[in-house]
Structure 1
Amino acid sequence: MGIVGCFLMPHPAIMIEEVGKKETLKVKNSIEAAHRVGEEIVRLKPETIVIISPHGPVFQDAICVYDFPLKGDFAEFGVPELTLEFVPDEQLKAEVLKKANEKKIPTVKSSIINYSRYGLKKKLDHGVMVPLYFITRHTADIKLVPMSFGMLPYEDLYTFGKAIGEAAESLDKKVVVVASGDLSHRLLPGAPAGFDPEGKVFDEKLISILERFDLDALYDMDQDLIERAGECGLRSIWIMLGTLDGREVKAEVLSYEGPFGVGYCVAAFYPEGKTESWLERLLKRRAEDIKKRRENEDPYVKLARQSLETYVRTGKVIKVPDDLSEEMLKQRAGVFVSIKKRGQLRGCIGTFLPTRKNIAEEIIRNAISAGCEDPRFSPVEPEELPELVYSVDVLTTPEPVDSPDKLDPKKYGVIVKKGARTGLLLPDLEGVDTVEKQLEIALRKAGIRPDEDYEIFRFEVKRHH
């Protein structure tokens, strides 16, 4: 037993006739495909459905498993009398949380959350309700384990999905997994999240990847493309795919359409024979990549890494090595140290003007600060050190500019200043390809309104990675 089938389903309430009325004709293909999913679930005869929603409590650092009475309605869509209620599978939920804890994937039960603080109600959200509306038209005798994803790295979401699969197998349960999520919300002018031509490109690429079940291509998707698409389903998909780790998979896209500017895709995934674990292959590849980085890192990056590793393991600040270059020992400059883990930022702290005796001391202090004092993240733990990737930016002295026309986000970093409020953005950052976006982010970091009279400075960096 274990995972017997997985499905990607959209969640627009307009698909439901009681809500959408005549408008449902515009999503006929999605409705027919959703009913086909219901029929397939009847054929598979699972004991439990695990469903992942983008519209429950979504946290930056944890996955939330619902732990309240599993009831919901469509009152927010004008149909309060349309309700659904389910029996929770407490055994599977407990086993999933246990397996996730063993894999060190942070999870939280909704019962410990202050729902009013987040403007939420303790009832099933429409990300759960819409797919289950169609499934329950065909069968209602199924237990439920609903959850929302967290804003974790994709591979952590995938690892959590693997925990779901292992939990189902250890309990010898037949389980179906449903990833609730829409694709791009920016397909057409007037779409809910605005229009971006890259929305269509994203949907076409994602559908092709799902049809081929090409996890490498999914992992390597351009992050800027993902951001511009304005999607809400990709993280649900990553958890679902993780439940199939180590299995050959038969994939089928049942429908796709986007009449309201939002992409609706229904797809089915069936586990077949066993194969190599994609997750293990990914981790092996990453370990090899990091090993090569360590072997070829320049003195700036090596010093940053050794500074943080020594401090995390011993609590001591290393002394400046004697064998460094004259530039590192005698010159002064502002320095930023950036740390990434599994492709995600893990810390970044720097100084845009020198504060230490030399560049080497600047690197040592800022590396420790980036790993242990960045307020956006918890301090780096010793077990994380082998996975960290470092870069060091040495800054030129900032110079004032009298016009945004003299900025270039690829060449120059930017500093905006109004009184004591200051915001800085390094150059050549992924997804920051226009001056407007660069200034927008810098102003937001500084807490400066765009209509205020503020100063602009530019600087260049020499990047070591």
Structure 2
Amino acid sequence: MSLVAAYIVPHPPLAVPEVGRGEETRIADTLSGYCEVARRIAAHAPETILIVSPHSAYYGDWIYLGAGSAASGSLAQFGAPQVAADLSFDEELRCAIEDLAAERGLPVGCVSAAARELDHGMLVPLYYIEQRYPSDKYRTVSIGGSGVHREKLLAFGACLAEAAARIERKTVLLVSGDLSHKLKADGPYGFEPAGPLFDEGFARVVESGDPLAFAELDPVMCEDAAECGLSGFIMLAGALAEAERESGEPWSSELLSYEGPFGVGYGVAAFEREEADRSREEASAAKAMADGDGADEDAQAADSPACEGGVGGVSSGESIDGSCGDDPLAALARLTIERYVREGATPEAPALPDDLPRRAGCFVSIHVASTKELRGCIGTIEPVRAALAQEVIANAVAASTQDPRFPAITPAELADLDVSVDVLFPPEPARIADLDAKRFGVIVTQGFKRGLLLPDLEGVDTVEEQLRIACMKAGIDWRGGFDGIGIERFEVARHG
């Protein structure tokens, strides 16, 4: 094994709730991007994560590798000392990288013991990765940004991939770097015309599928934009090119999110083997993104023989009251999850109260009760089964065992779950002026792409945010505005 994936993430400290104290909700796209990167890293299960941070030891004529056998750090300087991490270094891989760099005459090595402390460029993305892939599962090589010539950065990136292949280390490359710091006149660094130009160039390179173009961005523009991640992006390009040369397997690239509300650009990008990317696209056919965002309508049904009822199921007369505040739909969803997780069976569809619709689309959402963390969410935009109860049962099974973002729920987790059901009223065409993020959910459509976001979600306070997130999850480019994008609105009845 060698390099299996690479990711670019930003590192604003306020992205960590203990630092942001509510301000992090203004970069909801970025937080979603972090979570998606963490999910993908956990799915790859790398032995080592190579982490490039421009806030580690940065030299104009040297590329720094983290010294020693381990490092630790916290966000104490940002008022959150409780947010901390301890990492073990992969000394074998680090030595292999050094050896290759020496063979090629590159200025690389461990020269600063003081830089063993983890910086916020590493700690911010690690905060989200830790939730899905704890640091006891992997080792790390810490790499600093560098001002050396771009050709040397590309060559060093090639050393990363070649060293991982040489010692057969399954590796992920994570590059931490903000984009331009000069996007807004009222931002902390002011405005320069080069700021948005650099960020547009970043997005264009990612979407082109040719990361080597990072090394071709205008140096004057890059300097005027006051970016902090470009040297790492160029290392990434060299690593991907070398890995492709060795394996013959091409890479796909994907811009997961971009925003800059504080005057600094935050971009999240993913680079995967094309085969893995195709597998992920197939898996996405069964998922609705967190709390209903970014669902593909054709993919929502999550049909499974186990969802049809009656397989070792309980009778339709079994009580579903009491476990979810006496709400019959939430109670039915919980009963289904508990029965299916424990026994692989589902209940028969019961008769529901007359005040509930006979048929409707619905989403089943599962959260960890003690932490409020999402644990699964799948649903149907429109009804695909004969009765609402059948819809709830099928989506409860899918949310608990088939959401590709999470492993299947285990019996040990059942006591610490909150289950809710959102029943969707029929959608109707809408203008932006007709929307209300608290009252209405939205569906956006462009060609075959369709994305959904439920209403009244924490951290989504404006219609623009709601539309942007729905477009992002559907893979629709919204940056030129929402003209040409179909918009529908719907109301929901939330149960549980």
Report the TM-score when normalising by structure 2.
Answer: 0.52
Q: Deviation per CA, 1:23-57, whole angstroms, max 9, x where unpaired?
A: 01101110111011000011111100000000011
Give the greater-gyration-radius structure (CA).
1
Structure 2: any 5+ residue segments left out of the alignment? Answer: 245-249, 276-496
Match of 1:30 in 2: 30
Q: What secondary structure is seen at the aligned counterpart in 2 of 1:244? A: helix
User: Do the aligned residues in 1 keep the contact of 2:214 with 2:233 (CA within 8 Å)?
Assistant: no
Match of 1:83 in 2: 84
Q: Deviation per CA, 1:366-390, whole angstroms, max 9, x where unpaired?
A: xxxxxxxxxxxxxxxxxxxxxxxxx
Counterpart-to-counterpart distance in 1, 2:2 and 2:182: 37
Q: What secondary structure is seen at the aligned counterpart in 1 of 2:240? A: coil
What is the deviation of 1:196?
0.8
What is the deviation of 1:100?
1.0
Distance 1:180 1:243, change over 3 A: same
Counterpart-to-counterpart distance in 2, 1:215 and 1:85: 31
What is the deviation of 1:142?
1.3
Match of 1:9 in 2: 9
Q: What secondary structure is seen at the aligned counterpart in 2 of 1:210? A: helix
Match of 2:298 in 1: none
Match of 1:451 in 2: none
Paired AA for residue 206 in structure 2: L
Match of 2:256 in 1: 254
Q: What secondary structure is seen at the aligned counterpart in 2 of 1:73? A: strand
Q: Deviation per CA, 1:382-421, whole angstroms, max 9, x where unpaired?
A: xxxxxxxxxxxxxxxxxxxxxxxxxxxxxxxxxxxxxxxx
What is the deviation of 1:233?
0.7
Counterpart-to-counterpart distance in 2, 1:239 and 1:219: 9
1:188 matches 2:220 = no
Match of 1:62 in 2: 62
Q: What secondary structure is seen at the aligned counterpart in 2 of 1:259? A: coil
Counterpart-to-counterpart distance in 1, 2:120 and 2:212: 31
User: Do the aligned residues in 1 keep the contact of 2:67 with 2:116 (CA within 8 Å)?
Assistant: no
What is the deviation of 1:126?
0.6
Q: What secondary structure is seen at the aligned counterpart in 2 of 1:270? A: strand
Match of 1:105 in 2: 106
- Between 45-54 and 237-246, report the one with greater CA deviation: 237-246
Q: Deviation per CA, 1:83-132, whole angstroms, max 9, x where unpaired?
A: 11111111111111111111111112044x5x4xxxxx641011111111
Counterpart-to-counterpart distance in 2, 1:53 and 1:73: 15
Counterpart-to-counterpart distance in 2, 1:173 and 1:272: 20
Q: Deviation per CA, 1:328-379, whole angstroms, max 9, x where unpaired?
A: xxxxxxxxxxxxxxxxxxxxxxxxxxxxxxxxxxxxxxxxxxxxxxxxxxxx
User: Do the aligned residues in 1 keep the contact of 2:66 with 2:143 (CA within 8 Å)?
Assistant: yes
Paired residue for 1:125, among 119, 129, 149? 119
User: Do the aligned residues in 2 keep the contact of 1:244 with 1:271 (CA within 8 Å)?
Assistant: no
Q: Deviation per CA, 1:114-163, whole angstroms, max 9, x where unpaired?
A: x4xxxxx6410111111111111101111111110221111211110100
State the identity %: 36
Counterpart-to-counterpart distance in 1, 2:238 and 2:180: 22
CA RMSD of aligned residues (A): 1.5
Match of 1:149 in 2: 145
Counterpart-to-counterpart distance in 2, 1:41 and 1:151: 28
User: Do the aligned residues in 1 keep the contact of 2:212 with 2:237 (CA within 8 Å)?
Assistant: no
Q: What secondary structure is seen at the aligned counterpart in 2 of 1:193? A: coil
Counterpart-to-counterpart distance in 2, 1:253 and 1:220: 19
- Between 213-222 and 189-198, report the one with greater CA deviation: 213-222
Distance 1:216 1:57, change over 3 A: closer
Counterpart-to-counterpart distance in 1, 2:83 and 2:149: 36
Paired AA for residue 160 in structure 1: F
- Runs (4+) off by over 4 Å: none
User: Do the aligned residues in 2 keep the contact of 1:10 with 1:181 (CA within 8 Å)?
Assistant: yes
Counterpart-to-counterpart distance in 2, 1:240 and 1:263: 19
Distance 1:216 1:150, change over 3 A: closer
Paired residue for 1:198, among 194, 203, 208? 194
Counterpart-to-counterpart distance in 2, 1:256 and 1:186: 15
Report the TM-score when normalising by structure 1.
Answer: 0.56
User: Do the aligned residues in 2 keep the contact of 1:3 with 1:271 (CA within 8 Å)?
Assistant: no
Structure 1: any 5+ residue segments left out of the alignment? Answer: 116-120, 274-465
Paired AA for residue 254 in structure 1: L
Q: What secondary structure is seen at the aligned counterpart in 1 of 2:42? A: helix
User: Do the aligned residues in 1 keep the contact of 2:90 with 2:140 (CA within 8 Å)?
Assistant: yes
* Count of paired positions: 266
What is the deviation of 1:220?
2.8
